[in-house]
Amino acid sequence: MSGKEEKVNSFGRRTWDKEEYARLARERVEEIRNKRNGKNTEPKKTKAHDFFKQRMEDLKKIDSMNKISLVADSVTGGWFACEVCRRKYKDNLAYIEHLNSNEHLQNSGFDARDQQEVTLEQVKDRLETLKRIKDEERLKDDTQYDIRRRIEIKRKRDEEEALRKKQRTEKKRKKVAEKTEPNETTNDPMMTMMGFSSFK
């Protein structure tokens, strides 16, 4: 730009050649792609299943949720490493953040836009198969639930609880009655005149 004459608008402000800068940006993106791949080819596309399988393996390395794991730097290489991007991270949060980054997704060849859309019928079929599998597992289970037997057990428990509650209330009534009964041995006329039943 130093050898070129700068364009100026009517107010004396510099104007930019948008087409030239767009061309330079495209060249820079192409150059980055060539450096990344080592040649002039697009990164290979991976299937969503393979991508998510690799992602789950990476996340299993971390295994603790809502915790930061710092890894000591040692000769053996104590870090979380991304083989795809050739980067190393000392803590798991930075590693997970990298796994979600656009750079990692592009390097691994995953493009969400290339994935086929799932239709409503496919979703319904999948849910039906999962339900059928769950029902088969339930039938294999030896513990069959008899609803009548369970109702009878619940009724017996309720009756026992009601009986215990009734016995407790009767005990309390007896204690209160014993305390309120006037003791005939201490039937002093002075105490009755003053309204005392006992000094206990």
Question: Tens of pLDDT along 57-92?
Answer: 777 766 655 666 566 655 556 677 888 888 888 887
Q: Where are the beta strands (DSSP E) in 59-144?
A: 80-82, 87-89
What confidence tier does 39 reach under pLDDT thresholds 50, 70, 90? low
pLDDT at 1: 45
Q: Are 76 and 139 part of one and the same domain?
A: no
State how far the Cα of 64 lies from the Cα of 60, in Å rounded to an integer: 9
Residue 33 pLDDT exceeds 80: yes
Residue 167: which domain range? 118-171
Q: When comparing pLDDT for 96 and 50, which is higher? A: 96
State the pLDDT at residue 124: 93
* pLDDT band (50, 70, 90) for residue 109: confident
Spacing of C-alpha 2 from chain mean position: 56
Based on the fold, state whether residues 137 and 70 are members of the same structural domain.
Answer: no
Query: Are 110 and 149 found together in one domain?
Result: no
Answer with the one of 69, 84, 116 that is the final residue of a domain.
116
CA–CA distance, 125 with 114 (Å, rounded to integer) = 23
Kindly state whether residue 200 falls inside one of the protein's structural domains: no
- Give residue 182's pLDDT: 56
CB contact at 8 A, 106 and 51: no
**Confidence (pLDDT) at 121:** 92
User: Does one domain contain both 22 and 104?
Assistant: yes
Q: Is the dihedral of CA 42, 49, 95, 57 positive or negative?
A: negative
Rounded CA gap, 199 and 39, in Å? 106
> In this predicted structure, which of 5-9, 16-20, 45-49, 126-130 has the lowest mean pLDDT?
45-49
Could you list the beta-strand ranges (E) of the chain.
Answer: 7-8, 14-15, 80-82, 87-89
pTM of the model: 0.29
Whether residues 67 and 87 fall in one domain: yes
Whether 195 maps to a domain, the answer reads: no
What's the token pair of residue 27? Answer: 């060249």
pLDDT of 175 = 87
Answer yes or no: do 29 and 52 share one domain: yes
Query: pLDDT tens across 111-126, in order?
Result: 666 666 778 899 999 9
At how many degrees (to 10) do helices 92-99 and 48-62 cross?
170
Is the pLDDT confidence value at 137 over 90? no
Instruction: Please count the structural domains in the chain.
Output: 2
